[in-house]
Structure 1
Amino acid sequence: MDFARADALNQAIRLLSLRHRARAAALLTPLGLHPGQEVLLLELARSGPMIQAQLSGALGCEPPSVTLMASKLEASGHIRRSPAPTDRRATLVELTDSGRELADQVRRAWRTLAEETVVGLGEETVASLPEILGTLAENAGAGRRATGANATTRRPRRTGRG
């Protein structure tokens, strides 16, 4: 790929990331949330109570980040943390009734964000975006982990789309 194309691609991804995060923040602020906290709430709503270390893995966040988010959400009454019944050293995290209500509001905000983000795109394009963006995220993560020759010889996963 020549530099002009690489630069255009990288700039587009960067700009999308910045604008998406800013718009997410604008939609989450009235709910009393900061970006990142919503994914914790949604994961607990989807999966049910979890050990905090498992939650860290599910969110792809470092444990101290999850601890900080959980502390803030607990202080606002949206989650409850308690010793895990099977391992007193582990912390069980679960939604409160307030957290379940907030998760419903977050789902509405996320639908709004997604709808605004894909305005003007055809249904087929929109349907293909999760796979394409997932592949891009996977490739970016693999590039970060690769070293030496592996970084240049690794073949990206194909999406099956032209």
Structure 2
Amino acid sequence: MDFDRADALNQAIRLLSLRHRARTAELLAPLGLHPGQEALLLELARTGPMIQAKLSEALGVERPSVTLMARKLEAAGHIRRAPAPGDQRATVVELTEDGRALAERVKRMWCALAEETVTGLPAATVAELPGLLGTLTGNVDAKRRRGDG
């Protein structure tokens, strides 16, 4: 691939990432949330209670980041954390009633953001996007894991 094409592609991905995160922050602020916290709530809504270390893996973020998010969400009453039965070193995280209600609001906001993001694209393109973006993510992850430079 020549530089001009590579630059256009990389710039488009970078700008989409930055602007999507900024728009996410705008939409989450009225809910009292920060980017990343919605992913934690949605994961718990999908899976139910989960060991915090597994939650970190599921979200693809470092454990200290999940610990910090969990502390803030717990202080706000959206989740509860408790020692895992049979392993006092592990912590189980689960949504509270308030957290479940907030997760439903986040789902509606998430749908609106997705609609906003793909406005003007043909339905067939929209249907292909998750697979295409997943492939791009997998390509970057594979190189990162191998340490290719």
Q: Does 1:109 pair with 2:109?
A: yes
Q: How many residues align?
A: 149
Q: What pairs up with 1:20-59 in 2 under 5 angstroms? A: 20-59=20-59
Shift of 1:85: 1.1
TM-score, with structure 2 as normaliser: 0.97
Q: How many Å separate the matches in 1 of 2:110 and 2:48?
A: 19
RMSD across aligned C-alpha pairs, in angstroms? 1.0
Q: Does 1:60 pair with 2:63?
A: no
SS in structure 1 of the partner of residue 61 of structure 2: coil
Task: Tell me the residue number matched to 1:83.
Answer: 83
Unaligned runs of 5+ in 2: none
Cα separation, partners in 2 of 1:92 and 1:24, compared to 1, 3 Å: same
SS in structure 1 of the partner of residue 92 of structure 2: strand
Unaligned runs of 5+ in 1: 152-162
The structure with the greater share of residues assigned to strand is 2
Q: How many Å separate the matches in 1 of 2:9 and 2:146?
A: 21
Higher Cα Rg, which structure: 1
Shift of 1:21: 0.4
Task: Tell me the residue number matched to 2:130.
Answer: 130
Output one character per residue of 1:86-138: Cα deviation in whole Å (capped at 9) or x when no partner: 21111110000000000001001100110000000000000000000000111
SS in structure 2 of the partner of residue 89 of structure 1: strand
Q: How many Å separate the matches in 1 of 2:77 and 2:42?
A: 16
Q: How many Å separate the matches in 2 of 1:45 and 1:66?
A: 16
TM-score, with structure 1 as normaliser: 0.89
Q: How many Å separate the matches in 2 of 1:50 and 1:146?
A: 29
Q: Identity of counterpart residues, as a percentage?
A: 72
Task: Tell me the residue number matched to 1:18.
Answer: 18
Equivalent AA in structure 1 for residue 43 of structure 2: E
Q: How many Å separate the matches in 1 of 2:6 and 2:42?
A: 34
Shift of 1:143: 2.1
Shift of 1:141: 1.3
